Amino acid sequence: MSNCKFVTQSKLPTEHGEFTLCAFEEPNGKEHLALTFGDLDSKNPVLCRVHSECLTGDALMSLRCDCGPQLQAALKMIAQNGSGILLYLRQEGRGIGLVNKIRAYALQDTGHDTVEANESLGFAADLRNYNICSDILSHFDISAVNLLTNNPKKVEALEDAGIVVSQRMSLHAGENINNKDYLDTKRDKLGHLT
């Protein structure tokens, strides 16, 4: 367990509706967010997205990945559902950090795929850790979720942390000609589902 603790919250109006933005902090100072919408009924599975930070995709609207469109699609689905939660984890570049992610991009520019680029830099293909999800979800008394993801490792990680994943719901958004190889690599080498 990471002992990730709730710090504060505020309203967050978005184009999809008004969310509540909750800040959490790990003992090492790393900060994470939870965006909640509507009344979270902890007696039933809550619609949930676990989204890892991607500055280039989420904020700069990069077409190299599908992160920004997936983030917006998840927020829209949660709002349309009337309730749900999005966990925004500070794990840039599958956990290698922003500068190393840009180094990986440079290697991809020379023909490496996303996995080969991370490995060429001396990292595992994916260093993300989802242990903090149970700390954040337990703050809201959530023990079961309908998870918006194409990544079976997120399902396994939540289940290993004691969260019931009642349903995995595919989330496809942002596919384009610039990220076709990236999406193929996620499917073929990282086991992402369709």
In this structure, are residues 8 and 31 in contact, taking their beta carbons and an 8 Å threshold? no
In this structure, are residues 33 and 88 in contact, taking their beta carbons and an 8 Å threshold? yes
Maximal C-alpha separation, the chain = 50
* Per annotation, catalytic residue among 58, 66, 126, 135: 126
Q: Is the dihedral of CA 72, 75, 76, 77 positive or negative?
A: positive
In this structure, are residues 154 and 94 in contact, taking their beta carbons and an 8 Å threshold? no
* 90 labelled catalytic: no
How many Å is the Cα radius of gyration of the chain?
A: 16
Rounded Cα distance between 155 and 133, Å, is: 11
* Per annotation, catalytic residue among 128, 135, 181, 188: 128
* 135 labelled catalytic: no
Torsion angle of C-alpha atoms 134, 54, 172, 44, degrees rounded to 10: 20
As annotated, the active-site residues are 126, 128
